[in-house]
Structure 1
């Protein structure tokens, strides 16, 4: 899922952050480290 968010929002940092924040709220604290690692890699 994180890869999809990153792919669709590549080059648009503001939009990427908005989607990321939404995803973090939706998925909860347990998956935050996974999402951040996916975006960094």
Structure 2
């Protein structure tokens, strides 16, 4: 069993190196949020 687990870990590391799963477009802000609108709507 240990060999299979190690193989999966190595495969995951190699896959992450070749095709990173981080997508910056999912993490940046797309404009002011509701808190900003509430502050400026007196």
Larger radius of gyration: 2
Higher normalized contact order (CA 8 Å, seq sep 6+, divided by chain length): 1
TM range (shorter): 0.3 to 0.5
Normalised TM-score (structure 1): 0.41
Decide which structure has greater helix share: 1
Normalised TM-score (structure 2): 0.40
